[in-house]
Amino acid sequence: MGVAGVTMPAMAVSLLRILVLGSWLSLLIGLPSLQAHEGSAQDPEVEHRKCRYCDTTGMVLCEDKVHGRVDLSLEGNMVFCTHVGECPTCDGLGRIACGECERSDAAKLLTKMRERRKAAIVRHQELEAEMKRKLSGGESDHFRLLWDIESLKIGRKRFDQHELLHLFADRMEAVHARYLEVLHVKEREIPDRSAMAVWWLPNDHNEAARRFCGGSASMGVKRMGPNPFFSTCGTRSHFPTDDDLHRYLVHNAAHLLLSNNIPSLWMGQYKGGGWFDEGLASWFEIDLVERAQTWCFQEQGAGGPWGKGNWRVAVRKLVQQDRQSSVATVLSRDVNTLEQAEQAIAFSLIDYLIHLDGSKLPAVAERLKNKKPAREALIEHYGLSPLALETAWKAWVLETYPKR
């Protein structure tokens, strides 16, 4: 994969983002994905008679007055959303069967959606009980989400809390989808929904971090392994722009998915696990939001993000000037000892291994989670000793990474 191949995913994602924004205008865009996720017995080839009332989805938005001004057309990407509220007409789904076309499978799908919503509410209420108040959030297919920020300006548009929650759901589901794709992982191999909470007030974040993650740090705290949980305080002092917050959430979602990917264990605490854990999380930042700037265990250096966030350019420069730490050194770090430049090299090593064959990464991860040295895991699955990896990786970096 050359440089063009490397930049392709970023382009694909900006296209996805446009599609997502477009979907906000249309109705019930989430229905096909719901069918796919449920593994519905329906034959996808079945032709339904075209219906202009529901776009042949079999469902229309609920018009009950209890929803007030809530934009129900957003609901396609979530199983349960607190903003829809309780409603006797739609049972809080925000949609009902279309009365005009009588798609025979609509009622069955609605029943299934009701069941999934019910289970999600129970889990959400556990969080509310802990925090002792109502919380804005809900669940998408693979995440439990809490979004506390009331409104944010993104570009020239001001998003309200409900819109931000659904944007959050889209972005985190994009990490999950890309993770499955790049590492060739099956949905069932990440057994639990990852919980992610974005607060506005430092006190709420501190409280959540203490209750759900058993730790504290002003910016973000995570619990890894089974039922992973991440909490952050999303104020502008931490994240001046939406891109900054987006990157940080993508990076941490990748950590949660990797730690929950069976065997559900956190590798970053072990010598030999830090490079993989941080390198992969940074890889998703760059893949989905173009630049990387998240340091989980290092103070960010003065003078802006390392390498201006353009890690491919910066790593190429290091390699060219032969100033980088040896691969053997990077491979031996845990997350606490990994330095900034080493994290960028870790990203680049992951980048190279994905270029060789991303489907072997889960097997390497499994070894690292079981405290095997990275050296052995790489020889076993990629047939590369640290020295052989260093030679091949350097040549690849010089050949394919952009000069600026």
Tell me the two tokens of residue 2. 């050359």
- Residue among 135 and 384 whose Cβ is closer to Zn ion: 135
Binding to Zn ion by residue 172, rule CB under 5 A?
A: no
Among 6, 81, 249, 361, binds Zn ion (CB under 5 A): 81
Residues in CB range of 288: below 8 A, 6 or more apart: 9, 10, 13, 171, 174, 175, 178, 250
Binding to Zn ion by residue 175, rule CB under 5 A?
A: no
249 close to 296: Cβ distance less than 8 angstroms: no
In single-letter form, the type of residue at position 319 comes to: V
- Residue among 90 and 190 whose Cβ is closer to Zn ion: 90
Buried/exposed 116-137: b ≥16 CB within 10 Å, e otherwise: bbeebbeebeebeeebeeebbb
Site string for Zn ion, 187-216 (x = CB under 5 A): ------------------------------
Among 27, 97, 101, 164, binds Zn ion (CB under 5 A): 101
Number of residues lying near Zn ion (CB under 5 A):
17
CB under 5 A: which stretch of 210-218, 234-242, 289-297, 317-325 binds Zn ion? 289-297
Q: How far is the CB of 103 from Zn ion (least distance, A)?
A: 6
- Residue among 338 and 389 whose Cβ is closer to Zn ion: 338
- Burial classification of residue 287, based on how many CB atoms lie within 10 Å of its CB (0-12 exposed, 13-18 middle, 19 or more buried): buried
Among 10, 13, 16, 51, binds Zn ion (CB under 5 A): 51
Q: How far is the CB of 71 from Zn ion (least distance, A)?
A: 8
Binding to Zn ion by residue 254, rule CB under 5 A?
A: no
d(CA 260, CA 194) in angstroms, rounded, equals 8
Among 9, 17, 37, 64, binds Zn ion (CB under 5 A): 64
Q: How far is the CB of 82 from Zn ion (least distance, A)?
A: 8
Residues in CB range of 5: below 8 A, 6 or more apart: none
How far is C-alpha 249 from the chain's CA centre? 7
Binding to Zn ion by residue 224, rule CB under 5 A?
A: no
- Residue among 193 and 222 whose Cβ is closer to Zn ion: 222
Buried/exposed 21-54: b ≥16 CB within 10 Å, e otherwise: eebbeebbbbbeebbeeeeeeeeeeeebeebeeb
d(CA 275, CA 253) in angstroms, rounded, equals 17
Binding to Zn ion by residue 338, rule CB under 5 A?
A: no
- Residue among 53 and 391 whose Cβ is closer to Zn ion: 53
CB under 5 A: which stretch of 93-101, 183-191, 201-209, 219-227 binds Zn ion? 93-101
Residues in CB range of 97: below 8 A, 6 or more apart: 58, 59, 60, 103, 106, 107, 110
Q: Which residues bind Zn ion (CB under 5 A)?
A: 51, 53-54, 62, 64, 74, 81, 83, 87, 89-90, 98, 100-101, 278, 281, 296
